[in-house]
Amino acid sequence: MKKFFSVAALLMVTVLTLVGCGGTADNGGNNKVLKVGSTIDFAPFEFQDETNKEYQGFDMDLIRAVAKEMGMTAEVQNIGFDGLIPALQAKNIDIVISGMTITDERKENVLFSEPYYDSGLTIVVRDGEESIKTFNDLAGRKVAVQIGTTSGDEVHKIAGVEVKEFNTVADCFMELKAMGVDAVVNDRPVNDYYISKSGATGVKELSERLTSESYGMAMTKSNTELQTKVNDALQKLKDNGEYQKIYEKWFGGVEK
């Protein structure tokens, strides 16, 4: 009998523990910790500080501010870009912030916050490349893109293009420098930053911009409660000037 009770008690504890841990994702943000997924390879939106190893960037500051506004703390996990939506669906994370473009296709699987940044795509080529000036010139050429991105979607539409897909944007630029591709297609603000701030040499960004895209934070389809809270927090940060401060810190000047 005694043994029965202790087994029952043990089971009880197990069940309670499971319940206790289970409510991570779909609770509309009642946990103190907001589990965030991001691909930490997309400066100036998300990248790792070389000295203190902290994740930093526009998205990192924004999600920390949003979490704070909701009375929570953001805990960021570095996940490959094509693994972010699966991680949401598996409820390993509550929200994605990763320079992720709001698209109709993604909307079939996730909820997005209101747009928080306007972006688009540009081309980067090697210095001295004169035969590529526009997206049409990529026909029949070799182009590197990050896997699972809108760049990939757009480049695949170009006739006869040979698309090489890489896990990270850094790998795309390496392939360009190693002459493995003729061009990289990637998000405009990230290309701008790579060319002007990261000391990149031997490459240039073309001025043509393809697509106008907006970034949104993604959540599971059922988590309308968290979506509302995130949108309210975002609006507050816009109203109280905090969003503008973060914007100026990373992009300088006024919002474009």
Least distance to ligand GLN, CB of residue 152, Å: 8
Q: How many CA atoms lie less than 13 Å away from 228 in the CB half-sphere?
A: 8
The minimum distance between CB 150 and ligand GLN, in angstroms, equals 4
- CA 250, 38, 27 angle in degrees (round to 5)? 115
Sign of CA dihedral 251, 94, 32, 51: negative
Q: What is the C-alpha end-to-end distance of the chain, expressed in Å?
A: 72
- For residue 187, the minimal CB distance to ligand GLN (Å) is 5
- C-alpha 33/C-alpha 67 separation (Å) is 8
> Toward ligand GLN, which CB reaches closer, 113 or 146?
146
Q: Shortest distance, CB of residue 41 to ligand GLN, whole angstroms? A: 8
Residue 179 zone, left/alpha/beta (φ > 0; ψ -120 to 50; rest): left
User: Measured from the CB atom, is 166 or 247 closer to ligand GLN?
Assistant: 166
Q: Which is nearer to ligand GLN, 155 or 161 (CB)?
A: 155
For ligand GLN, give the closer residue by CB, 82 or 232. Answer: 82
Q: Determine the Cα–Cα distance for residues 233 and 231; give it in Å rounded to an integer.
A: 5
State the amino acid at position 252 in one-letter form. G
C-beta of 117 vs 242, nearer to ligand GLN: 117
Q: Which residues bind ligand GLN (CB under 6 A)?
A: 39, 42, 81, 98-101, 146, 149-150, 187
Q: Looking at beta carbons only, is 25 or 218 nearer to ligand GLN?
A: 218
Contact partners, residue 91, CB within 8 Å, separation at least 6: 24, 25, 26, 220
Token code pair at residue 192: 């701008």
The residue written with tokens 């509550």 in the block is: 94
